[in-house]
Chain A
Amino acid sequence: YVFTPGNPKWKRNDLTYRILNYTPKMRRADVDEAVRKALSVWSNVTPLTFQKVQDKEADIMISFAYRDHRDNSPFDGPNGQLAHAFQPGEGIGGDVHLDEEEAWTKGERGYNLFIVLAHELGHSLGLSHSNDPGALMYPTYSYTDPNEFLLPQDDIDGIQAIYGQSNAAVQPTGPITPEACDPNLTFDSITTLRGEMFFFKGRYMLRKHPGRTETELSFISLFWPRLPSGIQAAYENVETDEILIFKEDKYWVVRGYDVLPGYPKPIYRLGFPKTVKRVNAAYNDETTGKTYFFVADRYWRYDEKEKSMDRGYPRKIVSDFGNIGRVDAAFQKDGYVYFFHGTTQFQFDPRAKRIVRRMKSTSWFNC
C-alpha cells in the first residue's frame, strides 16, 4: 500500500458524503446501494463513519461528470480513465468524480460502480495506488462479484496505518495475493487447458504456459466473470475441449471464454449421492476417457462416454493411489497424475500404480 504524498488524512472520524447527481444507466436505488456498500468497505475496518447528507456541502461529494468538468483532469470518454478522486482536504478534497460516459452497472457487465467507487474512496481517505495486483488500490479495473468482495489485506493494512484499527472486537482480515514462489502456497484446484496449466487460489489463478518461464497471475473473473472464486475442483475434458469447474454442490462447464448456458448444475446429475456436498479434486484420464473425482478419503470414477459413474465406486483413495492423504487438487500430464495435498505434490504413475516422486507444490513455477 502507498500513502498519498504528504500523508493527508481527515482529522475527524465521522465523515459526511453526498451524491450530487445520478447516472441514468442505473436505478437510483442501485447507485445509493453501491455508494453505501463502497463506504462500508472502509468503515468496516477503521473507526471511520460516513453519514449521508442532502443539500449541503459534505466531506466527500460524489458526482458523475463529462469530459472537461473544470478540475484540470478532463475525462476521456468510454473506457480509459473511469473515475478519479481527490485526497482528504477542504473543498474538492475527498470528492469522487465518475466518468458519465462509462457503462456503469451493478453486475459484471460494463464497469461495476461499487468496485470503482470503493477504489476511489481509498483516494478520498488518503491512500495512493498500490502495486499489489490483488489490492483494491491497484490502478487497473478488475471485476469481482460484489457479493464475494473482501477488502484485501494490503488495503486493510494501508487504511489502518492512517486511521487505526476498527472498533470491532475481532479485527477483520482480508485475502492475500498469492505469490508463485511462496513455499507455503497451496491450491484450491488445478486443471490443464489446451496445453496450459491453471492453478486456482481464491479469486486468483496462476497460469503456466509450458513454453514460458514466468507464471501469470490474474483474476478468475478476468477470463470467466460468471465463475465463483474458491473453485474446489476442476478438470479438462480434452475430447470435448471443455473444462468442468466445481464448487460446493454445483458445477459449471466452460468452453474457451464461455461458461455454457444452463450452468451451474447440481453435481448429483453426474451420479453423486446426496451425501456428497462438495468435490475436492478431479482429473480426467485422456487415454481411458474416465474422470476421477476425489471426495474426502474416497473417489468415484465417471465414464465420460457413458456419462455415468462406473459401478463399484466410491473406493478408498489409499487402496488405489497410496498414502497421498486428502486430495486438494489433481491433474494429469504426460501420462502421470499429480496429486496436491497442502504444500506437498505426489507424482503418481497409473501404469505402475504407485507414487514415483514427491515434490513441493510450487515445483511447476521455476522458483
Chain B
Amino acid sequence: FPVAPEAEDEGKTLELVESYLQSFYDLQKDPHPHLRSGSENPLTAKLKEMQSFFGLQVTGKPDLDTLEVMKKPRCGVPDVER
C-alpha cells in the first residue's frame, strides 16, 4: 500500500540522521532496534552532541536547522573520536 508522503519523509529523515551520526559522531549501529532500553536513546544523545558542536539549539530532535546542517557538504573526517 503506498506509504503516505509524510511517513516516507520521516523515513528518509531518520535515514539521513542515522547515517550522519554513524559517519561523524560514532553512533553505533543498533543490533536490536526493536528492543527498548531504559536509558536515553543513543541516537538522541548523539544528536544532542552534534547540535552542541554546531552551536544549534540542543533539542535532541532532527529539527529543520539540524537537518539543514546535516545536508551541507563537508569533510569526511568524524567530528568526534571514533
Contact = CB atoms under 8 A, between A and B. Distances in A.
Nearest to B72: A140
A214 B6 CA distance: 29
B55 A133 contact: yes
A140 B69 CA distance: 8
Nearest to A131: B53
Given A5-B81, A129-B79, A139-B79, A82 B55 contact: no
B73 A139 contact: no
Contact of A141 (B55, B73, B79): B73
A81 B53 contact: no
B2 interface: no
Interface in B38-82: 53-55, 69, 72-77, 79, 81
Interface in A147-170: none
Nearest to A80: B73
B74 A84 contact: no
Contacts of A139: 24, 74-75, 77, 79
Provide the main secondary structure of the chain B interface.
loop
23 contacts: A5-B81, A73-B76, A75-B76, A81-B73, A81-B76, A82-B73, A84-B75, A84-B76, A85-B77, A111-B73, A116-B75, A119-B75, A128-B77, A129-B53, A129-B77, A129-B79, A131-B53, A139-B74, A139-B79, A140-B72, A140-B74, A140-B75, A141-B72
Given A131-B53, A131-B55, A133-B55, A140 B77 contact: no
Interface of B: 23-24, 53-55, 69, 72-77, 79, 81
A79 interface: yes
Contacts of B75: 81-84, 116, 119-120, 123, 129, 139-141
How big is the A interface, by class?
20 to 34
A204 to B, nearest CB: 14
Chain B CB within 10 Å, residue with most, of A83, A133, A139, A141: A139
Nearest to A2: B79
B77 A82 contact: no
Which of B74, B75, B79 has the largest count of A CB atoms less than 10 A from its CB? B75
Contacts of B73: 79-82, 111, 140-141
A222 to B, nearest CB: 10
A111 B74 CA distance: 10
B38 to A, nearest CB: 30
B22 to A, nearest CB: 12
A130 B8 CA distance: 34
A84 B23 CA distance: 12
Contacts of B55: 131, 133
Interface string A107-133: 000010000100110010000110101
A99 B75 CA distance: 10
Contacts of A128: 77, 79
